[in-house]
Amino acid sequence: MGSGPAAMPSTMSTMPRPDNDGDSSHTRPPTPRPRPRRVATYTLTAMLWFAIFALYAMRTNLSIAIHSQRGMGQFDWGDKEKGVLLSSFFWGYITSQLPGGWLATKFGGRRVLLTSMVCSIIATIATPAAAAFSLNAAIACRVLLGVASGVLFPVLASMLGRWVTDVDRATCYNIADTGGSCGVILCALGGPWLIENGSVEDWMGWQFCFYYPAALGALWVVLWVVLVSDSPATSTWISVEERAWILSALEHETTSGAAAAAAA
């Protein structure tokens, strides 16, 4: 009698072990890259803080100067005229909120915010001379300032969306947003002192309430042009490690969001 069937060679030692409930096709997720120092990210956050700081200083200075007899109170304006002048900023401000987001998407937040700041500086510097000329000229300057300032927060959201991951976006936004309060405090503390210690005719008097926020804006323009780009991919100051980490993290967020939307 011949022997029984030949024994089957054992393959257990060569078969891959399943990683998850017997599914040998399951693969472990790649190990995330270590987070690098985010110098460029925080530089952008600081520059956005500075932008909000300067723009809020430029929009607040009128509220300080208009009620002082040594300031704009020297002009023959009643309460009605003063109220119209103070509110005219918001006539322009409300018109550029929605277009600001579209412009930032189409042309890039860097260019849009730069244009906003330049126009705001021009409007602010021109306000003292415009007020001396006529009430309507001063109103025109404030409307221009409002239009220019209205794009600020849409651009802020656009820039942070291109630069900062979900983990840090809220933190960077809140840090930048504190610039508004600091700008108001600067005008509230410095404006009355300038008005009381300067002569009515001297440009270092109440007029300087408009000039020094504009000077801060001019400094911001120089730093913004040198330091900031629309995205990590186009930045010349960012390190290779930080650029790769941000782009990889943002791509992962995009694909994960698309997958979650498709599964919903």
In sequence order, what DSSP letters do the residues of 61-119 get, joined into one string?
Answer: HHHHHTT-TTTGGGS---HHHHHHHHHHHHHHHTTSHHHHHHHHHHH-HHHHHHHHHHH
pLDDT at 33: 59
The residues pairing with 20 across neighbouring beta strands, listed in sequence order, are 23
Six-digit token string for 150: 């209205």
Model confidence over 50-83: pLDDT tens digits?
A: 999 999 999 998 988 887 766 676 788 888 998 9
The predicted pLDDT at position 249 comes to: 81
Mapped onto helix, strand or coil, the DSSP state of residue 124 is helix
Where residue 144 falls (left for φ over 0; alpha for ψ -120 to 50; beta otherwise) is alpha
Do residues 172 and 246 make contact, with C-beta atoms less than 8 angstroms apart?
no
Structure tokens at 252: 């992962």
Query: Which residues are CB-neighbours of 44 under 8 A, at least 6 positions away?
Result: 159, 160, 163, 164, 172, 228
Q: Which two tokens stand for residue 146?
A: 């409002």
In tens digits, what is the pLDDT along the chain, a chain of 264 residues?
444 444 444 444 444 444 444 444 444 444 455 666 778 889 999 999 999 999 999 999 898 888 776 667 678 888 899 899 999 999 999 999 889 989 998 999 999 999 999 999 999 999 999 998 999 999 999 999 999 999 999 999 999 988 988 888 889 999 999 999 999 998 888 877 777 776 555 556 778 889 989 999 999 999 999 999 998 888 888 888 888 888 888 887 777 665 666 666
| Residue 254: per-residue pLDDT | 73
Cβ atoms < 10 Å from Cβ of 72? 25
The Cα–Cα gap between 90 and 193 comes to 27
